[in-house]
Amino acid sequence: MARSSLGPGLDGILIVDKPIGPTSHDIVGLVRRLAATKRVGHGGTLDPFASGVLPVFLGRGTRVVEFHLGDRKAYRATVCFGASSSTDDLEGERTPARGPAPTRSVVEAALPGLTGTISQRPPAYSAIKVGGRRAYALARAGETITLAEREVTIHELALVTWDDSEPDRPIAIVDVVCSAGTYIRALARDLGERVGSAAYLGALRRTATGPFSDAEAIPLDDVRAAAAAGPGSLSALLKPIDAGLERFPDVPITETELEAVARGQFVRTAAGFPGGAERYRLRAPDGTLAAIATDAGAGRLAPDKVLVEPTRVNAAAAAGA
């Protein structure tokens, strides 16, 4: 049985350890060149001054990016007290705080109030659109904008270290686990305000996104070295397309069902499937991932993301060529 990819190049997920400096788009462009494939995307933007876990999806892997965008994130953040910033981070113009710098105990006491589901005002310098324009473009043009608050969830917020060697400008390092869409810059700003001072984000590292952690993130130099060694070496760095989608039950399908799935047709699988799942991973007889499907009712599955091509159609086309 021969099945082909929907396109040339490598298929899978590359967990990159993004360094400080390049944008997430820069990383995508680099991986696109190294892998010699056009279809590359990432699973959640990191600001240029931030480092850490950046999942990069290649080839057919780009078909599953949407299932990771809502993954919760984990960060290690450096919060600098004693001043506010126009961008809520170290890159903005800073203004000294009016109130006294907080103590460690005051900061620790404030953390529970920023935990759970909270309302957060995004930074003025953000990519949110206002009247069709990006907020950061309006802010850079000198316009005063106030973005609407949104609900985010802070699952965990803990103080890791406290440095008050400069009493007027203490620094806290905190670990954060939060919902997608949370601005850690805004969290640092709000923490400063909550303790009667001011604060901005001095450094940020993403330590995890969904199931992917920094323990498995690959430095760019290692990615470059693997690419230089050949496609096989780069392919060895990739995780399977469905890595991190274990919440979608596996459903084995027969060869006949596989051909129907490849054509995008509904199937009533011989193996059956458990009800109530968000999606299902359809497995070909050889164990490869054939598609992500949804429950269409009446015991049928509807292919949503098809990852194979119909072999019989290909064979017929080749015979008629």
214 is a catalytic site residue? no
Give 247-274 as a DSSP string: TS-EEE--HHHHHHHHTT--B--TT---
Instruction: Considering only the C-alpha atoms of the chain, give the largest distance between any 2 of them, rounded to a whole number of Å.
Output: 81
Distance CA 60, CA 46 (A): 23
Distance CA 255, CA 258 (A): 5
Q: For the chain, what is the total number of helices (H) and then of strands (E)?
A: 8, 18
Catalytic residue among 11, 17, 26, 47: 47
Mode of pairing for the β-strands spanning 133-134 and 94-96? unpaired
- 118 touches 77 (CB < 8 A): no
Q: Helix 311-320 vs helix 255-262: angle between axes, to the nearest 10 degrees? A: 70
- 42 touches 269 (CB < 8 A): no
Integer angstrom CA distances of residue 286 from 11, 172, 282: 17, 52, 11
Distance CA 53, CA 76 (A): 12
Neighbours of 287 (CB within 10 A): 9
Phi, psi of 261 (to 5 degrees): -60, -40
Residue 159 CA, chain-centre distance (Å), reads 24
- Please choose, from the candidates 200, 195, 201, the residue with its C-alpha nearest in 3D space to the C-alpha of residue 106: 195
Residues catalogued as catalytic: 47
